[in-house]
Amino acid sequence: MNSNIWLLTFADAISIATTLILASLGAIITERSGVINLGVEGMLLMGAVTAFVVADSTGNLWFALFIAVVVGVVLSSIHAALTVGLRANQIVSGLAMVIFGTGLSQFIGKPIEGDPLPVVIRPLELGWLADLPIVGPVVFGHDVFTYLTWVAAGGASFYMHRTRPGLTLRATGDAPATVDAQGGSVARIRWAHTMVGGALMAFAGAWYMFARAAAWNQAATTNGIGWIALALVVFASWRPLRAIGGAVLFGFSLQVPFTLQALQIRILPPTIVAMFPYLITLAVLVLLSTPRARRLLGAPKMLGQPFVRDER
């Protein structure tokens, strides 16, 4: 019995990790171009509520996911317009995106609060793989998107480190003036990656809605996962593959309190545990504020810095 509940905990950790990987992958891609988007939580909520509403009226899961992605692109392009186009402060704009995304999703989601899910994402039937001891239930009991997410992380890593546009992307986060001098468009690269990042974040929310959540529960639906994804970016040193391991670890630590509760072991009051995501985010932001820490952690050198060409 006890060993079963721990297997479930591991399986849940991997499942939660899917959202974390998707969201932090979005953040990594965005940040590698030099743009920091703190609005992840808002993007998750918007992705989730959009997917719910669209699925509710059409019954089509794929269409719902698609519209959620479109919403992610639109929202993140607002962030790009402010920070890349108008060179506004990225932190302020990002926090505004959280408030905006949270508020708008609650407004949209009010009528459907507590309704049953119109569609769900079900785990794949993997036959004998799922019957393997331990590995079966932990690794092979997930839905198709979980596996695709791992592939996506590998793809992102390959893109960043082994392809021409990836090289330019990393250069844009580290030395935008260099890219500019070579005729590359810093603005275009930042716009594009901020939008792709936003799409991934919103998709992460939509997936979470149909695969993990029981119902739309307003802002509590995602419960701070977006903030954890941001911390995960730092933990993974802006590398997509490291985000997978980090996400499982973070997912596990998110799941453990529930397991302990189920086992009637009480270490910390749940209200304290609920504070963790925000504490971690705060710690990350403080950490990122010193140039030395940024360098040691491997942050893109010009993260958060608007690019202005050095005109004579």
Judged by the rule CB under 8 A, the positions of this chain that interact with another protein are 162-165, 167-168, 170-171, 174-175, 177-179, 181-184, 292, 301, 312
| Overall size of the chain counted in residues | 312
* Choice between 57 and 163, CB closer to another protein: 163
Q: Shortest Cβ distance from residue 181 to another protein (Å)?
A: 5
Q: Shortest Cβ distance from residue 20 to another protein (Å)?
A: 26
* Choice between 170 and 242, CB closer to another protein: 170
Which residue(s) pair with 116 in the sheet? 215
**Phi, psi (deg, nearest 5) at residue 116:** -70, 155
Q: Shortest Cβ distance from residue 168 to another protein (Å)?
A: 7
Are the C-beta atoms of 115 and 216 separated by less than 8 Å?
yes
* Choice between 27 and 171, CB closer to another protein: 171
Q: Shortest Cβ distance from residue 284 to another protein (Å)?
A: 21
Rounded distance between C-alpha atoms, residue 310 and residue 20, angstroms: 38
Rounded distance between C-alpha atoms, residue 70 and residue 76, angstroms: 10
Amino acid in the structure at residue 248: V
Are the C-beta atoms of 263 and 257 separated by less than 8 Å?
no
Q: Shortest Cβ distance from residue 301 to another protein (Å)?
A: 7
Q: Shortest Cβ distance from residue 307 to another protein (Å)?
A: 13
* Choice between 29 and 75, CB closer to another protein: 29
Rounded distance between C-alpha atoms, residue 227 and residue 234, angstroms: 12
**Which is it for the CA torsion 267, 269, 272, 276, positive or negative?**
positive
| Nearest of 33, 92, 97 to residue 285 by alpha carbon | 92
| Nearest of 53, 95, 81 to residue 195 by alpha carbon | 81
* Choice between 163 and 289, CB closer to another protein: 163
Q: Shortest Cβ distance from residue 295 to another protein (Å)?
A: 9
For residue 116, give the 3-state DSSP assignment: strand
* Choice between 164 and 264, CB closer to another protein: 164
* Choice between 128 and 164, CB closer to another protein: 164
| Nearest of 216, 175, 166, 232 to residue 19 by alpha carbon | 232
